[in-house]
Structure 1
Amino acid sequence: MLIVQGQDIAKDFGSDTLFSQVNFQIEEGARIGLVGANGAGKSTLLQIINQNQAASSGQISTKKQLSIGYLAQNPQFKSGNTIYEEMERIFDYLKEDERNLRNLEKQIANTTDNQADYEHALQKYDYLQNKFKADNGYGFRSEIRSVLAGFGFSEERFNEPALNLSGGEQSRLAFAKMILEQHDLLILDEPTNHLDIDTLNWLEKYLHKYPGALLIVSHDQYFLDHTVTEIYALERATLKHYHGNYTRYLQQRTKNLQLEQKAYDKQQAQIKNTEEFIQKNIARASSTKQAQSRRKQLAKLDRLAKPQDYNQQINFQFTFEQASGNDVLSVKQLTTGYDDKIMSQAISFNLKKHERLGIIGHNGVGKSTLIRTLVNKVPPLAGNISWGMNVKAGYYDQTLNRLTSNKDVLHEVWDSHPLMNETDIRNILGSFLFQNNDVFRIVRDLSGGQKARLTLCKLALEHNNLLIMDEPTNHLDLQSKEILEQALKNFAGTVLFVSHDRYLLNEVSTKILELDAKESQIYLGNYDYYLAKKAENQALNNDEKVVNPTATSNKTAGNLSYREEKMRQSEQRKKQRQLQKLEAQIEQLEQQISDLNQQMLAPENIQSYTKLQDLQTQLNQLNQLKDDLEEQWLKLSE
């Protein structure tokens, strides 16, 4: 069933059109990602759907009494309630039902004389108890605790005043409160801000079970890949629909661009051949009529525009002037921190040439402090740091404080490389999307994304053989992240970086360093390998506890027998084939669903209630089948 439909939506700002001819549909339980370049109008479209803004033209239709939850960017709690009380307010109606049940219990106990009153009270109690149970009256407090824990609020903090929380914590609390309100549609604008990796992993699992529809704008590709099943992309000032998650959208978009280029090239060849025929034959008496006929056909031809990539993208690579030795960095029993906060873990790891080490851990565990210690911004408190031969390290600071606020963009780069000429500097800046008069903008007036691109530009010009980066994807849009990921993967040197961006960790890392409050642990693979290894170790520990609670398991993947390993690989290949088969079936159903939705929009069908009913019945059947297949896919993938 459709809950929201947009038809020919446009938004103008003065004489400028942000987008036009926007059409979309949101069904019950849909999982939609809204993507597009910064400034394309994603947040504006979300506000139009949420009726915070009016469209310049077009129509938004919603089902009756539609409940929408919209995640505000900067929420504030001013009531004086504690963290737990703010969450509990959502369920005031259940607490009222609970009080009514207690009162009815007393009434039943005290009603002994009048049989009719007794029966009436019992019936009323039975109805209210069933309703209370159906509304999760016996479990809502447990759900509050579970959701608060998922968002990083321990029970020790439940009685803290909500208004005393930091901005990031208030955003997390507002998010937690909103998803418990069980809206028909959740509109999430950058929901992954302020969330660490553990919270993101928990949130993805929770949203899989969320009964309402989701409409998500996010720069976190890993999050989109694991939460959405369709994409609406704001491209070239209008909206395009794609089936699948974000990765599949990228594949489809690339394929579409290739098809457009092929059609354009074919038409251009036809135009060239026609023009040559006209030129050769227009003056000949025997063939002038044919030439004139073709000239008329050519004049009427609807010419295709030259295909262009949908968004401007930065374009750069990291290079170095001198290679380092094979041993780049050795850290042994390192303790880091400041006078008022000392990290208790002793950190040890080795970094070899060509390796890309991703560092992860809870917020506050000391990841950035480790980076700052390695680049001599903070002195080590204990332990040893040993650098290899010819190591030249470049540092990317997530605070972007290495820029000079009162310089313009051109001189921020030029002053660091005075021997380069202005043309070369401007060409390099152009590859980071600082073009024309943009190079004269003052640094302090730049957005976070622009400052990030300028910092990357300066880093690329240093030609280091080791890149040390602290949250390099903060402030970057999806397209810029993709270019950075590719640049790091193609870099022939060595990379050490802190990130909560799981897609970057998965695509770039060759090993993972996990920090927690007490220790550090190395995992020899990317982020998916890290997750699999953690799950495997947890399963082994659980099995060992069942067999022998006092023993510790020492069987790891490396101890598997050859036979066991072959069986595991065979089972994995079988599951992969099943997944691919399910994905193909789901994609086919999605296309059928899309075709039916288009038929329902046809004027001849809109005017026929009987026809619409038939189409809706078919649509419901296909959606049910798709849900069943997606459930099978989810269980198999887990």
Structure 2
Amino acid sequence: MIILQTQQVARYFGAKTLFEKANLEVQDQGRVGLVGVNGSGKSTLLKIIAGIDPPDAGQVVYNKGLTIGYLAQNSGLDSNKTILEEMTSVFDYLREMADQLHQMEVQLGSEPNNQKLLNAYDDLLVKFKAENGYGYEAEIRNVLTGFQFPAETFAKSIASLSGGERSRLALAKILLQKPDLLILDEPTNHLDIETLNWLEKYLQSYTGALLIVSHDQYFLDHVTKEIYALSQHELRHYHGNYSNYLKQREQDFQQATQAYEQQQAEIKRLQTFVDKNLTRASTTKRAQSRRKQLEKMDRLVKPQDEEKSLHFHFDITKETGKEVLGVQQLAIGYDQHAMVSPINFDVRKGQRLAVIGANGIGKSTLVKTLIGKIPAIQGTYKFGANVEIGYYDQDLTQLDRSKTVLDTIWDEHPLLPEQQIRNVLGSFLFSGDDVLKVVHQLSGGEKARLLLTKLAMEQRNVLIMDEPTNHLDIQSKEVLEQALQNFSGTLIFVSHDRYFINELADQVLDIQADGSHLYAGNYDFYLEKRQPETNTATTTTVISDNQAQFIADKEQQKQRRRLERAVTAAEEKMQQLAQQDDDLQAAMAQPEIQADFGKLADLQQQLEQVQAAEEDAENAWLQAADELENAE
């Protein structure tokens, strides 16, 4: 059942169109993700859907009685109550029902035969139980614990909490309210990995519908079942989670590109025939027919890349030794107070080490210790030969707020010409007058891109990065992933982005209060191996299922890659044959060939063979493309 529809919804800013003709549906218990680059209008569309802002065109249709919960991006709870008081206020109506039940019980004590009162009591008790009247306090504790608020924090004043803590509480409160439709704008901000895992499981079993904007691909993969992509002012619908959306989008782009190229080839062939035959008496009618065909043709627009995004790479000027970093019995912290101890790990040349752990556990402290910003409390760490460190600071404090974008890079590379600096900045999406902006005027995403520009220009062979995906939209993160995958040096990075870790890490260092735990694999491998061996049989079964799913996924990926290669090979074959077809027809149109019937007959025979081969190649492409689509 459809509970909400947007019908031809639009938002304009003066003469600029943010989006228009946006049609979106949410089904009862739907799991919908909304994606798009920063500035495409995702948050604006959510506000329209939530009824906060009206659309400039179109309408939003709601199911009768639909309750909506909306959580804006980075919104924090503002309250003078304690944590427990604020969460309990969600269930004030249950507490009132409990008081009513108690008053009825007292009255029934003196009027045991009052049938009307007995019936009213029974009805209210049934409703009280159905609304979880006896279990809501346990539910509050469960949600607060899931968001890293243990029982000893329940009496804390919300006004005394940090911005991140208030944001987590705002999300906790809206979950407890259980609206029919839960609209969440970037709900994973301020959450560590453990909290993200808990939230995913909670939302997977949520009884209402979900509409979510998130830059966390792993979260979208595990929570959503359909994706709406806001791109180039249009809203497009895709079935499946985020990974399926990526495959479908790429397939759509390839098919559109092929259709465009085939039409262009056909246009060229027809136009060539018209140009050569229109003035010849024997062929003028055929040429006129071809010209009409061209005039009636519905011309396809050349497909463009779905999103304008970053394109860059990290180079190195010299190689490190085999041993890059050794850490032994390290204790980290401030003012001789150890936050974590002991930490032990080694990093070899070319490895990618992901550092994970709860918020506040000491991940950034470890990084700052390794780069020499703060001293180690005890233990040792040592970098190997020829190590040159490039550092990315999650707080972006390495940027001079008073400098322009251009000067930030040019001051460090004064011998390079200005145009070369502008070209480099252009690959990081700083073009035209953007390079003259002062750093303090930039958004978080722009500052992140500028710091990545700075880091790429340094050409260091060991990158130490603290939360590099913060502030980046999904498309920019994917380009960063690709650049780091192609990086020939060594990478050590702190991240809570599980998709990013999965794509890059070959080691995971889990920082906990009792020290470090090293896992040789990516994030999914870490999830399996971190389970204690003493777990119950149920947990063992889950691990086995995960392993089976991992193997199945790998086999599916192998099959998909085989089919993708077959599709690509067929496309290349079709292009080669189309070129041969054009060349043969061009040769046959030459006057000296047309005067030689023997040569013309030979070329005609070759053309027929090529055209038959073209048909075979097209059939092969169709079969491979169909198999690939069915394999998704």
Shift of 1:335: 1.2
- Does 2:102 correspond to 1:102? yes
**Cα shift readout 1:187-229 (whole Å, capped 9, x = no counterpart):** 1101001111111000000001111111111111111111000
The equivalent of 1:541 in structure 2 is: 534
Q: List gaps (5 residues or longer) in structure 2.
A: 561-632
| SS of 2:275 mapped into structure 1 | helix
* SS state at 1:336 partner: strand
Cα deviation code 1:528-581 (max 9, x no counterpart): 01111123x2xx21349x9xxxxxxxxxx9xxxxxx9xx97998279839998x
Aligned to 1:7: 7
CA distance in 2, matches of 1:205, 1:76: 23
Alignment partners' CA distance in 1, 2:68 and 2:480: 35
Q: Name which of 341, 344, 347 aligns with 2:343.
A: 347
Superposed, 1:36-47 pairs within 5 Å as: 36-47=36-47
Separation (CA, whole Å) in 2 of partners of 1:568 and 1:84: 39
SS at structure 2 position matched to 1:345:
strand
Secondary structure (helix, strand or coil) at the match of 2:102 reads helix
Contact 1:413 1:458 in 2 (8 A): yes
- Runs (4+) off by over 6 Å: 567-571, 577-580
Distance 2:496 2:302 in 1: 39
Number of residue-to-residue matches in the alignment: 555
Deviation string, structure 1 residues 100-144 (Cα, Å, up to 9, x no partner): 1112222222225xx3x2x33332222221111111111100000
Find the counterpart in structure 2 of residue 16 from structure 1.
16
Report whether the alignment pairs 1:485 with 2:481. yes
SS at match of 1:175: helix
Tell me the equivalent position of 1:89.
89
Measured after TM superposition, the shift of residue 340 of structure 1 is 7.5
Greater mean deviation of Cα atoms: 225-234 or 396-405: 396-405
Distance in 2, Cα, partners of 1:574 & 1:336: 36
- Structure 1: gaps (5+ residues): 547-556, 558-563, 585-638
Aligned to 1:370: 366
1:457 corresponding residue in structure 2: 453
Mapped to 2, the partners of 1:398 and 1:54 lie a distance apart of 37
Query: Which residue matches 2:62?
Result: 62
Q: Sequence identity, in percent? A: 53
Please say which of residues 121-130 and 425-434 is displaced more in the overlay: 121-130
Indicate the residue corresponding to 1:588 in structure 2: none
The TM-score normalised by the length of structure 2 is 0.85
Aligned to 1:516: 512
**Cα shift readout 1:612-633 (whole Å, capped 9, x = no counterpart):** xxxxxxxxxxxxxxxxxxxxxx
Query: Would you say the 8 A contact 1:76–1:163 is kept in 2?
Result: no
1:572 corresponds to: 548
Match of 1:404 among 389, 400, 407: 400
Corresponding residue number in structure 1 for 2:503: 507
| Residues 261-305 of structure 1: per-residue CA shift (max 9 Å, x gap) | 000000000100011001101111122222223223212322111
C-alpha separation between the residues in 1 aligned to 2:109 and 2:468? 66
Contact 2:12 2:19 in 1 (8 A): yes
Counterpart in the other structure of 2:616 = none
1:578-637, CA deviations, whole angstroms, 9 ceiling, x for partnerless residues? Answer: 998xxx9xxxxxxxxxxxxxxxxxxxxxxxxxxxxxxxxxxxxxxxxxxxxxxxxxxxxx
Structure 2 vs 1, CA of residues 541 and 274 (structure 1 numbering), >3 Å: closer, same or farther? same
Structure 1 421/260 Cα, relative in aligned 2: closer, same or farther at 3 Å? same
TM-score (norm 1): 0.84
Deviation at 1:77, TM superposition (A): 4.5
* CA distance, structure 2, for counterparts of residue 571 and residue 17 of structure 1: 48
CA distance in 2, matches of 1:219, 1:179: 20
Using the alignment, how far apart are the partners of 2:453 and 2:121 within structure 1?
A: 70
Alignment match, 2:577 = none
Are 1:295 and 2:291 an aligned pair?
Answer: yes
Relative to 1, partners in 2 of residues 1:93 and 1:238: Cα closer, same or farther, differing over 3 Å?
same
- The whole-number CA distance in structure 2 between the counterparts of 1:238 and 1:210 is 30
Q: Which residue of 2 aligns with 1:611?
A: none
Q: CA deviation at 1:53?
A: 1.3
- Name which of structure 1's ranges 413-422 and 287-296 shifts more when overlaid on structure 2: 287-296
Say if 1:206 and 1:131 are closer, same or farther in 2 by CA, change over 3 A.
same
Say if 2:309 is the partner of 1:313.
yes
Letter in 1 for 2:223: T
In structure 1, what residue type is equivalent to 2:32? I
Using a 3 Å threshold, how does the CA distance of structure 1 residues 11 and 371 change in structure 2: closer, same or farther? same
C-alpha deviation, 1:422, in angstroms = 1.9
Q: Secondary structure at the match of 2:398?
A: coil
Counterpart for residue 251 of structure 2: 255
Other structure's SS at 1:530 match: helix
The residue number in structure 2 matching 1:28 is 28
The residue identity in structure 2 corresponding to 1:572 is: A
Q: Distance in 1 between matches of 2:450 and 2:339?
A: 32
More displaced 10-residue stretch of structure 1: 313-322 or 295-304: 295-304
Letter in 1 for 2:403: K
Aligned-pair CA distance for 1:78: 4.7
Partner residue of 2:124?
128
User: How far apart, in 2, do the equivalents of 1:187 and 1:480 lie?
Assistant: 24
Partner of residue 614, structure 2 = none
Task: Report the more deviating stretch, 393-402 or 422-431.
Answer: 422-431
Confirm or deny: 8 A CA contact 1:8 1:58 kept in the other structure: yes
